[in-house]
Amino acid sequence: MTDLFSVPLRAVIFDMDGVLTDTIDYHYRTWQRLFDEENIPFNREQNEALRGLSRLDSLNAVIGDRPFSDAKKQEFLDRKNQYFHEFIEQMDETALLPGIAHLLPEIKAAGLPMAVASASQNVTKVCTQLGIADMFDAIANVYDVPNSKPAPDVFLHAAQLIGVEPQACLVLEDGGSGIAAALAAGMRVLGLGSPEIVGAAHVVLPDLAGVTWTMLRDRFETPRTMTSSAVSSVGR
Ligand code: G6P
Ligand code: MG
């Protein structure tokens, strides 16, 4: 069997929330506001498990089997999104996470297409606010495909849009469901954040500060035994 790591990388696919920009706190605060209004228990720890889930999947995960009608649930989703917009309207390039402002032009200069594959319906709006929408050859979200993360659909769709086979794609992800989705798509995966959440990725880093495309390419194009203990080999 061909080692995935011996296939040259030809594209990079980014998750958005938690990878390009730190909207995780905005999601947390807006969910907390909604659930407080509805007297539904919620906390920061629960929010961590929502990384990468769609808005509806997130709501369902928190409300469990409480019997809300579909119309009520839709009202919750719309209200949450309205609160979220109060934050994203204020966003600009200062909200890019460390490393992104250097990494995107570097990958572009290397001639690789880039895509965003997000569970957010706000993906185009947020990328535009951040001033990076033009950097991407495709922006895909889970509403374009039958199944949300952890299904591989959104990553496979992004790869198809840029015309690159999954084996030649590198995914950058911060969510457990997104890591599972990218692995199921047969792609190489860099997990960003705590190993408890992203430990299933091929390589794990706390963040992208100081990480260059050369480091990533060297790390992900070198055949190896798969472990997640490769932090030092990307220069950190
Ligand atoms: C991302 C975030 C999730 C969020 C989801 C939906 O995947 O990690 O926390 O729930 O997008 O975002 P949206 O902007 O559509 O509410
Ligand atoms: Mg994310």
Structural domain 4-21+93-220, CATH architecture: 3-Layer(aba) Sandwich (3.40)
> pLDDT (tens digit, 9 = 90+) per residue, 167-188?
999 999 999 999 999 999 999 9
57 counts as catalytic: no
Average the pLDDT over 129-149 and give the result.
95
Q: Tokens 């889970």 belong to which residue?
A: 142
Q: Please determine, for residue 33, whether its predicted confidence score (pLDDT) is greater than 90.
A: yes
Q: What is the DSSP string of 19-57?
A: TTB--HHHHHHHHHHHHHHTT----HHHHHTTTT--HHH
Domain ranges of the chain: 4-21+93-220, 24-88
Confidence of residue 212 (pLDDT cuts 50, 70, 90): very high
**Residue 15 annotated as catalytic:** yes
User: Does residue 229 register a pLDDT over 70?
Assistant: no
How large a percentage of the chain has pLDDT more than 90? 87
Distance from Cα 223 to the centre of ligand 2, integer Å: 27
pLDDT score, position 224: 63
Q: Are 118 and 140 in contact (CB under 8 A)?
A: yes
CATH fold of 24-88 reads DNA polymerase; domain 1 (1.10.150)
User: Which pTM does this prediction carry?
Assistant: 0.90
pLDDT value at residue 234: 59
Residues that place a CB less than 5 A from ion ligand 2? 15, 17-18, 52, 174-175
